[in-house]
Amino acid sequence: MVRMRFNASVATGLLLLQTVFLLVLYSRQNISLSRMEDKEKVHLLILSSWRSGSSFVGQIFSQHPDVFYLMEPAWHVWVSMFQNSAKVLHMAVRDLVRSVFLCDMSVFDAYMPRERNVSSLFQWATSRALCTAPACNFFGRDEITNESSCRTLCGKYPFDNVEQACNIYSHVVIKEVRFFDLKVLYPLLTDPSLNLRIIHLVRDPRAVVKSREQSMKALIRDNGIVLNTNGTKVDDSKYEVIQQICRSHVQMFETATLKAPSFLKDRYMLVRYEDVVRDPLREIKQMYHFAHLQLTDKLRKWIHEITHGRSPGNKKEAFLITSRNAFNVSQAWRKVLPFEKVKTIQDVCKGAMNMLGYLPVESAAEQENLSMDVVVPRKHYQFSWL
């Protein structure tokens, strides 16, 4: 009997040791898996529309030393197939974006000549990653690059360098203005080879129209694709393009917040340009957190300089990022646009303005009264996935 009790005690002790061992092993495996997940490549799509501050937000990510960034690679699709509508081109744009996220640059074979270099990419010099090694050897990876200097020094490098550069970064970020339906992106959100997150950037449509009017020539072809004119150029005097843009913002926001599929949870973030320029560091920290990036001291200083500068900007260049007072720029429409034009914009974008927190002005006096805020305070507005 004594011997049996002894054996039972030993067995119990061994069982306890085995349980502890398995718990420790399981814990270590979880830690290991967690570390692997932390190192998983992040794919971020900045989803916006023309003249909404997306080039500025794109640069906020492009200048980060962990980011490979491309600005509007789907431009190549639209240029090549401009006689189609935006809806028809959605699949081609989506396929190109997926390939870029996976650093497969052979997707550009369909849209570029065989003989090409880095400068064959649309707005390539806005990408810090294409101005540093291995794409180009003139800038260090942790430097804030200058677009004009990069354009001068790095454009003739082989196109193969684009793919090499993409593969060494933990984050691939694409800024795109050629999606008008969030559901088009569902195949990318459910693709196991991607770790996709979406920042949906919006801006007051009155400010968008004011900015679009300064860049009218650069947007003529895109306007035709948005309005499905079969390649015919349009002047958009009836504000049909901004109406389509506003409708798309409503569709995307509603899709993300009303009965959204589970795979979209925590992978969609709405950002208003006005909030970014009012409190840049707060908003950029939140965007970085969403993208699993850390804000460096060098970036913090650069962000302050580019949002508090005195330069008025270069109106001749539609996509140039310059140091200027970003908040004043965001309010410029109130001094420039005639009230009758503002009324029309408010009418065609009423739903989007109401949903996104932009208040209408009822008179020219209200429009010119800058002490009257027309943006609903951020703290009273719901941005997160519901």
pTM of the model: 0.84
d(CA 146, CA 139): 9
pLDDT at 102: 98
Distance CA 66, CA 331 (A): 33
CA 54 to chain centre: 7
Distance, in Å, from the CA atom of 358 to the CA atom of 133, rounded to the nearest integer, reads 43
Strands 268-272 and 196-202: parallel
pLDDT, residue 107, reads: 96
pLDDT cut 90: percent of the chain above it: 66
With a cut of 90, say whether residue 43 has pLDDT above it. yes
Cis peptide before 113 (omega within 30 of 0): no
Structure tokens at 203: 């801006």
pLDDT, tens only, 300-319: 999 888 877 644 444 444 44
Q: 231: pLDDT confidence band, cut at 50, 70 and 90?
A: confident
How far apart, in whole angstroms, are the C-alpha atoms of residue 171 and residue 174?
A: 10
pLDDT in tens, 179-214: 999 999 999 999 999 999 999 999 999 999 999 988
Tell whether the torsion through CA atoms of 256, 257, 261 and 262 is positive or negative.
positive
What's the CATH fold of domain 40-380?
Answer: Rossmann fold (3.40.50)
Q: Fill in the DSSP letter of residue 358.
A: B
At 232, the pLDDT band (50, 70, 90 cuts) reads confident
- pLDDT tens digits for range 94-115: 999 999 999 999 999 999 999 9
pLDDT for 47 equals 97
Beta-bridge partner residues of 202: 272
Calpha distance 1→7 (Å, rounded): 10
Q: What is the pLDDT of residue 16?
A: 56
Tell which residue, 248, 181, 185, 139, has the closest CA to residue 43.
Answer: 185
pLDDT band (50, 70, 90) for residue 9: low
More confident residue, 20 or 69: 69
Is residue 79 pLDDT above 90, yes or no? yes
Q: How many CB atoms lie within 10 A of CB 370?
A: 11
Domain ranges (residues) in the chain: 40-380
pLDDT band at 329 (very low <50, low <70, confident <90, very high): confident
Distance CA 346, CA 340 (A): 10
